[in-house]
């Protein structure tokens, strides 16, 4: 397990880099499970992609630091939530889809601070989202103020604020913070992904196991699934039938995976896959704010995101169809995705 004693990766980078993107050193260069120091710290393509929007790596680092500060303040609000307001949570789509006053309070705080610091960037948040809004190519902050609101309202300590910055509709920064466990997951494109335990300030490079355990098939996987709040129709039939097939013994035609886990937060499911404590996460129907932060973190931890539906290796961030797979050999990642797609046959989620 790699242990970083530097509590602020970006502080280190900023001190090392000054304002020059050319001399930029990846955070992986000083971690014990890092890739070799000769690995390029960022790609010329990415420098060009940033330049197209008038940005440098240092701008990303500044945004990342601010997002962390905001996430920690959101965590303080979550930790001080009062029971009487939690049990007064309102319903959205139905009785399993909740919103508390803290969701709106946190999103308001996040939007104010991000817009003040980066007035030219877009902002898309779960609680203020207008249906039909599409993500733009311009730099855009994405905010899920509390992912796992049902857990939060019941006092189940698996919920998090999830923040991302997208560029050309791809996540390039992810910050996901669960204050109840003091788990802060962070990533900047080409700079690696990290888990910081806020109680001690100790940072670990992700995935925790730099040489991944073999993942020959779904049988070797602990799989995250969620149940969503749409509990009828063809999507529900497909979801529940795949959950059953994942678990069923191979003697009866199932994948006989180790087990499934439903943690109640898609953002944290992505982070657990990035960390390597879960092997994969198959999900249709969640929204861009549920996954954008975790996606950035997973990719930097060597994971991949395919579609939940068969055939699409390059799913859109807003497409609501995700199959996240942990760091492993490419052919193993591919085999696990194809095995699950094979279980679906001709069936597909429709959103
Ligand atoms: C929920 C979580 C959960 C998923 C639900 C989402 P919310 O987000 O991501 O994992 O199954 O469909 O609504 O509502 O707690 O922000
Ligand atoms: Ca959410």
User: 14: pLDDT confidence band, cut at 50, 70 and 90?
Assistant: very low
User: Which ligand 1 atom is nearest residue 99's CA?
Assistant: 14
Q: So what's the pLDDT on residue 96?
A: 84
DSSP 127: G
Provide the pairing of β-strand 222-224 with 280-284: parallel
What's the burial of 253, exposed, middle or buried (CB within 10 Å: 0-12/13-18/19+)? exposed
Q: Is 210 in the pocket of ligand 1 (CB under 6 A)?
A: no
Residue among 230, 262, 254 nearest 349 (CA): 230
Q: Is 283 in the pocket of ligand 1 (CB under 6 A)?
A: no
Answer yes or no: pTM beyond 0.75. Answer: yes
In this predicted structure, which of 21-30, 77-86, 191-200 has the lowest mean pLDDT?
A: 21-30
Give the model confidence (pLDDT) of 103-145 as tens digits: 999 999 999 999 999 999 999 999 999 999 999 999 999 999 9
Residue among 208, 207, 96, 192 nearest 153 (CA): 96
User: Which ligand 1 atom is nearest residue 227's CA?
Assistant: 11
C-alpha to C-alpha distances, 127 to 33, 76, 98, 130, 242, nearest whole angstrom = 39, 19, 11, 9, 30
Q: Given the structure tokens 């039938």, which residue do they identify? A: 241
Say whether 126 counts as a known binding-site residue: yes
Q: So what's the pLDDT on residue 97?
A: 86
* Whole-angstrom distance, CA of residue 113 vs CA of residue 346: 46
Q: Which helix (H) or strand (E) holds 31?
A: none
What's the burial of 284, exposed, middle or buried (CB within 10 Å: 0-12/13-18/19+)? buried
Write phi, then psi, for 284 (nearest 5 degrees). -120, 145
Does position 26 have pLDDT exceeding 80, yes or no? no
* Whole-angstrom distance, CA of residue 174 vs CA of residue 315: 18
Does position 32 have pLDDT exceeding 90, yes or no? no
223 in Cβ contact with 261 (< 8 Å) = yes
User: Which ligand 1 atom is nearest residue 148's CA?
Assistant: 15
Does position 17 have pLDDT exceeding 50, yes or no? no
Q: Is 103 in the pocket of ligand 1 (CB under 6 A)?
A: no
Q: Within 10 A of 233 (CB to CB), how many other CB atoms are there?
A: 9
Q: Is 144 in the pocket of ligand 1 (CB under 6 A)?
A: yes
Does position 157 have pLDDT exceeding 90, yes or no? yes
Q: Is 160 in the pocket of ligand 1 (CB under 6 A)?
A: no
Higher pLDDT among residues 8 and 199, named by residue: 199
Give the model confidence (pLDDT) of 165-177 as tens digits: 999 999 999 999 9
Looking at every residue in the chain, the average pLDDT score rounds to 90
What's the burial of 73, exposed, middle or buried (CB within 10 Å: 0-12/13-18/19+)? middle
In angstroms, what is the span from residue 291 Cα to ligand 1's centroid? 10
Rounded average pLDDT over 60-73: 98
C-alpha to C-alpha distances, 72 to 77, 120, 121, nearest whole angstrom = 9, 24, 21
Q: Is 279 in the pocket of ligand 1 (CB under 6 A)?
A: no
* Whole-angstrom distance, CA of residue 178 vs CA of residue 130: 26
Tokens coding 293:
């932060």
User: Which ligand 1 atom is nearest residue 159's CA?
Assistant: 15
Q: Residues with Cβ < 8 Å from 103, sequence gap 6 or more?
A: 126, 127, 145, 146, 149
Q: Which of 147, 154, 178, 308 to mutate to test the pocket of ligand 1 (most atoms within 8 A of CB)?
A: 147
Write phi, then psi, for 277 (nearest 5 degrees). -85, -20
Q: Is 229 in the pocket of ligand 1 (CB under 6 A)?
A: yes
Does position 23 have pLDDT exceeding 90, yes or no? no
Say whether 318 counts as a known binding-site residue: no
Give the model confidence (pLDDT) of 206-219 as tens digits: 999 999 999 999 99
Residue among 245, 327, 247, 311 nearest 279 (CA): 327
Tokens coding 144:
């899920």
User: Which ligand 1 atom is nearest residue 98's CA?
Assistant: 14
Say whether 137 counts as a known binding-site residue: no
Q: So what's the pLDDT on residue 248?
A: 98
Rounded average pLDDT over 58-62: 97
Q: So what's the pLDDT on residue 37?
A: 37
Q: So what's the pLDDT on residue 261?
A: 98
Residue among 136, 128, 139 nearest 106 (CA): 128
Q: Which of 90, 163, 229, 286 to mutate to test the pocket of ligand 1 (most atoms within 8 A of CB)?
A: 286
The residue ranges of DSSP E strands in 100-236, in sequence order, are 122-125, 140-147, 160-167, 170-178, 183-188, 193-197, 202-206, 222-224
State whether the Cα torsion 81-290-2-36 is positive or negative: negative
């Amino acid at each position: 397990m790699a242990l970083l004693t530097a509590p602020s990766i970006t502080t280190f980078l900023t001190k090392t880099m000054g304002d020059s993107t050319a001399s930029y050193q990846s955070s992986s260069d000083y971690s014990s499970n890092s890739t070799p120091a000769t690995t390029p710290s960022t790609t010329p393509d990415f420098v060009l992609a940033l330049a197209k929007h008038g940005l440098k790596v240092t701008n990303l680092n500044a945004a990342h630091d601010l997002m962390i500060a905001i996430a920690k303040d959101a965590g303080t609000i979550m930790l001080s939530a009062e029971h009487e307001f939690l049990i007064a949570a309102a319903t959205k789509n139905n009785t399993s889809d909740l919103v508390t006053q803290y969701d709106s309070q946190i999103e308001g705080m996040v939007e104010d601070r991000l817009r003040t610091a980066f007035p030219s960037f877009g902002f898309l948040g779960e609680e203020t989202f207008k249906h039909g809004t599409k993500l733009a190519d311009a730099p855009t902050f994405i905010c899920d103020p509390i992912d796992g609101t049902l857990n939060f309202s019941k006092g189940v300590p698996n919920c998090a604020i999830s923040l991302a910055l997208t560029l050309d509709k791809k996540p390039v920064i992810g910050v996901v913070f669960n204050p109840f466990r003091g788990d802060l997951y962070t990533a900047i494109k080409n700079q690696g992904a990290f888990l910081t335990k806020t109680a001690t300030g100790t940072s670990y490079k992700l995935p925790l196991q730099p040489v991944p355990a073999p993942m020959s098939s779904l049988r070797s996987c602990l799989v995250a699934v969620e149940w969503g709040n749409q509990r009828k129709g063809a999507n529900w039939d497909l979801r529940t039938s795949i959950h059953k097939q994942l678990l069923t013994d191979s003697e009866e035609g199932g994948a006989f995976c180790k087990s499934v886990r439903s943690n109640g937060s898609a953002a944290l499911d992505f982070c657990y896959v990035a960390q390597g404590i879960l092997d994969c996460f198959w999900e249709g129907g969640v929204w861009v704010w549920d996954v954008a932060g975790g996606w950035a973190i997973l990719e930097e931890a060597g994971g991949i995101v395919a579609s939940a539906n068969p055939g699409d290796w390059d799913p859109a961030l807003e497409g609501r169809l995700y199959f996240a797979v942990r760091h492993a050999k490419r052919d193993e990642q591919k085999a696990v995705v194809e095995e699950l797609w094979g279980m679906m046959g001709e069936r597909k989620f429709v959103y």
